[in-house]
A and B are shown apart, each in its own frame.
Chain A
Amino acid sequence: MPDERKAVDFERTFLPCMDAAYNLARWLVHDTQDAEDVVQEAYLRAFRFAATFRGGDPRAWILAIVRNTAFTWLKRNRGSDPPTEFDEKVHGAIEEHGLEADTVRKADNAMIRAALDELADEFREVIVMRDIEGLSYKEIADAADLPIGTVMSRLARARGKLARSLQQRIAKER
């Protein structure tokens, strides 16, 4: 029963990554039900293509599929374009935000969620993968199909934007 063993192997390798998969999907599509559909579809696709998994980090591999599934889903259901054409150079220098560490401490959970939610997909996903999921740059590069050198500059930009957004939110609260 080689195919049944295949299912068992697959589950053993990839089911432990399901929280990571769901977390990324949830942050990308913003909705519980939709995120579950995306994860389910991604896992079935992953199972079909499990033979192409050549070892390495299963989490980065499954996240790459989740991410593609999520962007396809977003395009189909909300007509948004996947952020593949993003060019670091065109988008210029990293914004200064002038946010101070003490001010950051004033931001509450809802503020941070809202600021993160409003970031563009390509920025939100790197923060989710790095700061919430704890992936290394190499794993992010694999999952998001980016050159490894781009991961750091993308993160720099993303965190800069997040800081600015937090800054504005905190100023409004006062």
Chain B
Amino acid sequence: MDCDETRVLLHGHLDGELDLATDLEVQRHIEQCPRCVTEYESLRAIRTRLKDEDLRFEARAELRERIRREIAASPQTRSATKRSIGYQAQRAPWVQSAIRFAVPMAIGAMLALIIAPRTMRRSFDQQIADEVVASHVRSLMVGHLMDVASTDQHTVKPWFNGKLDFSPSVNDFAKDGFPLVGGRLDYIDGRAVAALVYRHGKHIINVFMWPSAGTGMSTQSVGTERGYNAEQLTVGGMNCWVVSDLNQRELESFAGLLRSKG
């Protein structure tokens, strides 16, 4: 691989968007080419500045409200409401129809206020659970279990440098029967995450890790999904999802090991 080829690929490398083989080739080229390493370092510096400088414009709350109102008042929404009110009015006196209409709406709205955040929370977790299980299955299927194969945590951890905007905590649990076998980049919940691969007997365990928005510790067993067990825990500011075909009990003892390092 020469410098001209590398010039464009550097960006894919920086963004963690290359396939493993190309990514390694680029890495090898950078390591031995002073010009490309300078270029790469400056690209990294620019990216860091773009991230840190708070260049994002945020929408004002008024805009959000304005758009909500416009949608509610748009012909598609309004015509439907008018039709159904007219229909009610023909069958019943005005007051009755108002009660028929308003009371269930009010109750519905109250329930929605109470229930919506919970169901949304639940479906949000469920969505991530679906994603991590799908990712786990894919990792076993296409021979793309690992981007970096190593039982040494000091090899695996630095491998993530520059590929992620955070540094995952990598520990080997070989003496507890869960040896680290490698790591790879993955993509969950719309972001690049670290995937650490562990083995227990013949079973493979994927640990997906990315910075948590919340603080403190929490564990949540998300349960079985297509025959795989998934567990979510927050350790040392990291949101971790553990997925495997191990049984629930063994998976929990593995989660306990992760937690002990938090």
Nearest-neighbor residue (CB-CB) of A35 within chain B = B57
B45 contacts partner chain A, Cβ-Cβ < 8 Å: yes
Q: Which B residues are CB-close (under 8 A) to A6?
A: 76-77
| Pairwise interchain contact B76-A3, C-beta atoms closer than 8 A | yes
Given the complex, which residues of A lie within 8 Å of B76, measured CB to CB? Answer: 3, 6-7, 47-48
Query: Once the chains bind, are A7 and B72 in contact (CB under 8 Å)?
Result: yes
> Is there an interface contact between B57 and A36, defined as CB atoms closer than 8 Å?
no
Q: Nearest residue in B to A134 (C-beta to C-beta)?
A: B191
Note all chain A residues with C-beta closer than 8 A to B163. none
A169 interface residue, CB < 8 Å from B?
no
A101 to B46, CA, bound (A): 8
Q: Does A100 contact B (CB under 8 A)?
A: yes
Q: Does B84 belong to the interface (CB within 8 Å)?
A: yes
Complex Cα spacing A104 to B45, Å: 6
Tell me the bound Cα distance from A11 to B68 in angstroms: 8
In contact, B57 and A94 (Cβ under 8 angstroms):
no
Which B residues are CB-close (under 8 A) to A94? 7-8
Interface check A18, CB cutoff 8 A? yes
Q: Which residue of A lies closest to B112 (CB)?
A: A8
List of A residues within 8 angstroms of B192 by Cβ? 136
B74 neighbours in A (Cβ, 8 Å)? 44, 47-48
Chain B residues whose C-beta falls within 8 Å of the C-beta of A156 in the assembled complex:
7-8, 10-11
Whether the Cβ atoms of B17 and A131 lie closer than 8 Å is: no
Q: Are B46 and A40 in contact (CB under 8 A)?
A: no
Partner of B57, one of A11, A23, A101, A159: A23
Supposing A35-B57, A39-B63 touch, asked if A59 and B190 sit within 8 A by C-beta, the answer is: yes
On whether A44 and B63 interact (CB within 8 A), knowing A1-B84, A156-B10, the answer reads no
Residues of A in contact (CB 8 Å), total 58
A93 on the interface (CB 8 Å rule)?
Answer: yes
B80 touches A4 (CB 8 A): yes
In the complex the two chains form, is B56's CB within 8 Å of A19's CB?
Answer: yes
Min CB–CB distance A137 → chain B (angstroms): 5
Chain B residues near A123: list those with CB within 8 A.
Answer: none
| B46 with A166: CB separation less than 8 A | yes
**With A18-B59, A23-B58, A163-B46: A7-B71 Cβ-Cβ less than 8 Å:** yes
Q: How far is the CA of A136 from the CA of B144 in the complex (A)?
A: 19
Instruction: Tell me if B187 is interfacial: C-beta within 8 Å of chain A.
Output: yes
Q: Which residue of B lies closest to A166 (CB)?
A: B46
| Chain B residues with CB under 8 A of A2 | 80
A22 proximal to B (CB < 8 A)? yes
User: Is there contact, CB below 8 Å, between B50 and A131?
Assistant: yes
Residue B111 CB within 8 A of the other chain: no
Do A153 and B8 touch (CB < 8 A)?
Answer: yes
Question: How far does the Cβ of A147 sit from chain B's closest Cβ, in whole Å?
Answer: 14
Contact sample, A vs B, 16 pairs, CB 8 Å cutoff = A1-B81, A3-B77, A22-B57, A27-B57, A39-B63, A100-B41, A101-B41, A107-B49, A113-B55, A130-B15, A134-B190, A137-B12, A137-B17, A152-B11, A152-B17, A155-B15
Residues of A within 8 A of B (CB): 1-4, 6-7, 10-12, 15, 18-19, 21-23, 26-27, 35-36, 39-40, 43-44, 47-48, 57, 59, 93-94, 97, 99-105, 107, 109, 112-113, 116, 127, 130-134, 136-137, 152-153, 155-156, 159, 162-163, 166
